[in-house]
Amino acid sequence: MWYLDPDVYFVALIVPAMIFSLVMQIMVKSAYKKQSRVRNARGITGAMAAQMVLDANGVQNVRIEMTRGKLSDHYDPRTNTIRLSEGVYGAASVAAVGIAAHEAGHAAQHAQKYTPIKARNAILPVCNIGSMAAVPLMILGAVLDFWGLITIGLALYALIAVFQLVTLPVEFNASRRALRAIEGQNMLQGSERAGAKKVLTAAAMTYVAALVVSLANLLRFMLRFSRRR
C-alpha cells in the first residue's frame, strides 16, 4: 500500500522540525535554570510581580495562586486565575518575575479584549476536534480512496497550524507587556531585565517551533496524498 511505503517526507521535513523544537525546549529550560538562580535586587517574588503588572494595567478581580509542577505557569480565563508554579510563585528570582509578568500580561489581554486572543479563542473548539480527528480522517479516506475525507482531514489539520500562527502574536504581545511593566515599575535592574528578556524570548521560540512542526506535518501529508492522486 502506498501509505505504508517508506516516508521520505518524514525524514526531509519532520526530523529537522523536531530537532529545531528540541533545541528550543533545551534553550528555554537552560535560560530558566540560569535565571532562576539569580535573585533580583528588590526581592520581588513572582506573585508580587504578577500583581504589579495587573495593577499597572488596571486589571482587577484576578486571583493569583500557586500550582504544582515546573514551568506549569499559565493564566486560566475560565476562572480568571493566574497559576504560578512553585518555583515562581514565592521565588524572588529574575526568571520568576519575568514568567509571572508574562502570565499577568495574558490576563491583561483578556481584560482589554485583545483581538488576536479573541481570534484564537474563537477557533479553539474546532482545533480541539481537528487535533483528534484530522489524521484518522486522512487515513480512512486513503483506505477507502475517498478524497472528500482526505480533504476534510487536511483542512482540520491546517486549522491547527492557523491556531498556532495566531498564538504567536498573543505570546509575543504578552512578553512585551511584561517587559514594559517590569521597566515601568522598576521591578528589575539593567542586567536583571536582560535576563528576564532571555527567558521570555526562549519561551516564545517554543511556540515558533510548534508552528514549524505543524507546518512540516501539513506539507508532509499534502505531498504524500498528492503523490497518491
Catalytic residue positions?
A: 103
Q: Which three cell numbers stand for residue 71?
A: 514551568
CA dihedral 156, 212, 82, 117 (to 10 degrees): -60
The set of cell numbers assigned to 195 is 535576563
Q: Which residue has the cell 506573585?
A: 47
User: Residue 194: how many CB atoms within 10 A of its CB?
Assistant: 12
**Cβ(157)–Cβ(221) below 8 Å:** yes
Interacting residues of 146 by C-beta distance below 8 A, sequence separation 6+: 140
Helices (H), the chain: 8-9, 15-35, 46-56, 86-89, 94-111, 115-144, 147-184, 190-228
**H or E element at residue 74:** strand 74-76
Round to whole Å and give the CA distance between 141 and 101: 46
Which of 208, 213, 228, 199 shows the shortest CA–CA distance to 94? 199
